[in-house]
């Protein structure tokens, strides 16, 4: 299995984008089987560079991430990154997870703080735990055996009261602590991404791969829920289109494939180092988008 830092270095030399796909751990054994035996084999046709598996996001269990990551690597030979958050974990808990990850041959961790539990707006660290993700990056870096990714927010993090520039400045502490690359939150207006990327390069003088997170929309209700949760905005033209398509999921999915294709095409033309697809454990839309792009 590869270090994602190395994957990026090789792709840059070959002048090609890194393609990565994000999964979440299914809640049932049937879901596990469908992900491992159907969705991932379908997506392997795209020859992704690596995939990642979320940790405790959207109600998924934390314990399953390691198991799924290991199974993907062992069964499909695809480099898989584990997400890891500081939620409900002491430093000892985090060390125990990282020790297990090392033993399981996992070489890549996406270091996150995690969201406050639903119903609360403030994140509170547990006693003996971390408050910010840069502290987790420092811990992971002390192992010396992981490539480390961190989250970036083209529209600013939803909880950062000081606004997006203050949030972007906080990214510097993650990079100084040892992050190798950034994966962004979903966004639909490329100008938001370009402003973010330029600020990081020109104002913060940071030089590392920043890969846009792409969500091919699957349903109107779902995208409204997601954007409300993460604070990403829906552009006016998209909102108007969704208003017309409403609950016609098939039409929304086709629109989502079209929109994501155009979005990715413009991002690639602007030289992004990779594309990170939020596939929501489904292969159809991501496959269509990557094929449309001729990658
Ligand atoms: C690609 C991607 C994958 C994700 N995967 C998951 C997942 O698997 N599981 C999950 O639960 N969540 C996941 N998330 C969501 C993420 O955990 C939340 O958005 C979380 O609220 C912020 O995480 P962070 O790592 O950016 O936190 P941090 O970098 O710690 O930032 C959190 C907040 O604190 C502020 N801040 C940071 N440093 C400082 C400082 N030194 N002083 C003051 N303020 C500071 C920031 O501006 C921000 O508002 C993911 C997000 C992305 C973009």
- Ligand 1 atom closest to Cα of residue 133: 30
CA of 171 to the centre of ligand 1 (A): 10
**What is the value of pTM for the model shown?**
0.97
Residue 249 counted as domain residue: no
- pLDDT bracket for residue 155 (50, 70, 90): very high
Q: What CATH number has the domain bearing residue 38?
A: 3.20.20.220
Say what percent of the chain tops pLDDT 90: 93
**Residue 96 domain flag:** yes
Query: pLDDT tens, 29-45?
Result: 999 999 999 999 999 99
- pLDDT attached to residue 118: 72
Distance 158 CA to ligand 1 centre (A): 9
**pLDDT tens-digit map of 171-217:** 999 999 999 999 999 999 999 999 999 999 999 999 999 999 999 99
Q: What is the pLDDT of residue 203?
A: 98
Please determine, for residue 241, whether its predicted confidence score (pLDDT) is greater than 70.
yes
- Determine which residue's CA is closest to atom 39 belonging to ligand 1: 170
**pLDDT tens column, 183-196:** 999 999 999 999 99
- Domain around 133: 4-219+259-287
Atom of ligand 1 nearest to the CA of 112: 25
Q: Can you tell me the mean pLDDT for 251-261?
A: 98
Taking the centre of ligand 1 as the mean of its atom positions, its distance from the CA of residue 133, in whole angstroms, is 6
Q: Taking 90 as the threshold, does the pLDDT of residue 140 lie above it?
A: yes
CA 245 to chain centre: 27
Ligand 1 probe mutation, 89, 123, 132, 232, most atoms within 8 A of CB: 132
Bridge partners, residue 234, by sequence: none
Which ranges of the chain would DSSP assign to H, the alpha helix?
Answer: 4-13, 29-34, 40-44, 64-76, 91-103, 133-143, 164-176, 190-202, 220-230, 236-245, 249-269, 284-292
* DSSP conformation letters of 18-34: EEEEEE---SSHHHHHH
Q: Return the bridge partners of 276, or none.
A: 20, 213
| pLDDT band with cut points at 50, 70 and 90 for residue 100 | very high
From ligand 1's centre to the CA of 186, what distance in Å? 13
Nearest atom within ligand 1 for CA of residue 116: 21
| Residue of the CA atom closest to atom 21 of ligand 1 | 115
What is the Cα–Cα distance from 204 to 171, expressed in whole angstroms? Answer: 9
- Look at residue 244 and tell me if it is in a domain: no
3-state SS of 169-200? HHHHHHHHCCCCEEEEEECCCHHHHHHHHHHH
Measured in degrees and rounded to the nearest 5, phi and psi for residue 136 equal -70, -40
Task: Please provide the average confidence, as pLDDT, over all residues in the chain.
Answer: 96
> For position 269, what pLDDT does the model report?
98
Q: Cite the active site residues.
A: 22
For residue 227, being part of any structural domain is answered with no
Residue ranges lining ligand 1, Cβ < 6 Å: 54-57, 83, 85, 110, 112-115, 132-134, 151, 157, 159-160, 167, 170, 173-174, 183-185, 213
Which residues, at least 6 apart from 213, have a Cβ–Cβ distance to it below 8 Å? 22, 183, 184, 185, 186, 187, 276, 278
CB-based burial of residue 163 (10 Å sphere; 0-12 exposed, 13-18 middle, 19+ buried)? exposed
Probe target for ligand 1 pocket from 170, 179, 204, 211, with the most ligand atoms within 8 Å of CB: 170
- What is the predicted pLDDT for the residue at 131? 96
Angle between helix 164-176 and helix 190-202 axes, rounded to 10 deg: 50
The answer to the question of residue 246 being in a domain is no
Looking at the 3D structure of the chain, how many domains does it have? 1
Q: What is the pLDDT of residues 56-92, one digit of tens each?
A: 876 667 789 999 999 999 999 999 999 999 999 999 9
Residue 173 lies in a domain: yes
| Distance in Å, CA 19 to ligand 1 centroid | 22
User: Which atom of ligand 1 is least distant from the CA of 153?
Assistant: 53
In a domain, 31, yes or no: yes
Query: What number of other Cβ atoms are within 10 A of residue 270's Cβ?
Result: 12
Residue 233, in any domain of the structure: no
Task: List, in sequence order, every residue forming a beta bridge with 274; answer none if it has no partner.
Answer: 18
The pLDDT tens digits for 109-123 are 999 999 887 767 788
Closest-CA residue, ligand 1 atom 25, reads 112
Reported confidence tier of residue 102, pLDDT bands at 50, 70, 90: very high
């Amino acid at each position: 299995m590869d270090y994602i830092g190395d994957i990026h270095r090789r792709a840059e030399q070959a002048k090609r984008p890194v393609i990565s796909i994000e999964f979440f751990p299914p809640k049932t054994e049937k879901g596990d089987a469908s992900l491992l035996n159907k969705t991932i084999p379908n997506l392997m046709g795209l020859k992704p560079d690596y995939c990642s598996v979320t940790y405790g996001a959207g109600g998924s269990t934390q314990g399953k991430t390691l198991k799924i990551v290991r199974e993907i690597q062992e069964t499909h030979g695809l480099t898989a990154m584990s997400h890891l958050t500081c939620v409900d974990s002491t430093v000892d808990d985090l060390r125990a997870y990282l020790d297990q990850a090392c033993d399981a041959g996992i070489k890549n961790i996406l270091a996150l703080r995690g969201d406050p539990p639903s119903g609360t707006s403030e994140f509170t660290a547990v006693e003996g735990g971390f408050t910010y993700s840069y502290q987790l990056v420092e811990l992971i870096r002390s192992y010396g055996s992981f490539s480390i990714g961190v989250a970036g927010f083209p529209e600013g993090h939803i909880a950062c009261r000081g606004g997006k520039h203050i949030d972007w400045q906080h990214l510097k502490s993650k990079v100084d602590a040892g992050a190798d690359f950034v994966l962004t939150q979903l966004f639909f207006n490329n100008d938001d991404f370009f402003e973010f990327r330029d600020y990081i390069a020109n104002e913060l003088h940071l030089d590392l791969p920043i890969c846009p997170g792409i969500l091919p929309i699957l349903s109107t209700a779902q995208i409204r829920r997601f954007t409300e949760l993460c604070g990403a905005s829906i552009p006016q033209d998209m909102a108007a289109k969704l208003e017309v398509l409403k609950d016609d999921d098939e039409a929304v999915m086709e629109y989502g494939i079209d929109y994501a294709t155009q979005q990715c095409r413009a991002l690639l033309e602007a030289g992004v180092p990779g594309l990170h697809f939020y596939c929501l454990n489904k292969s159809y839309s991501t496959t269509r988008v990557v094929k449309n792009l001729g990658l």
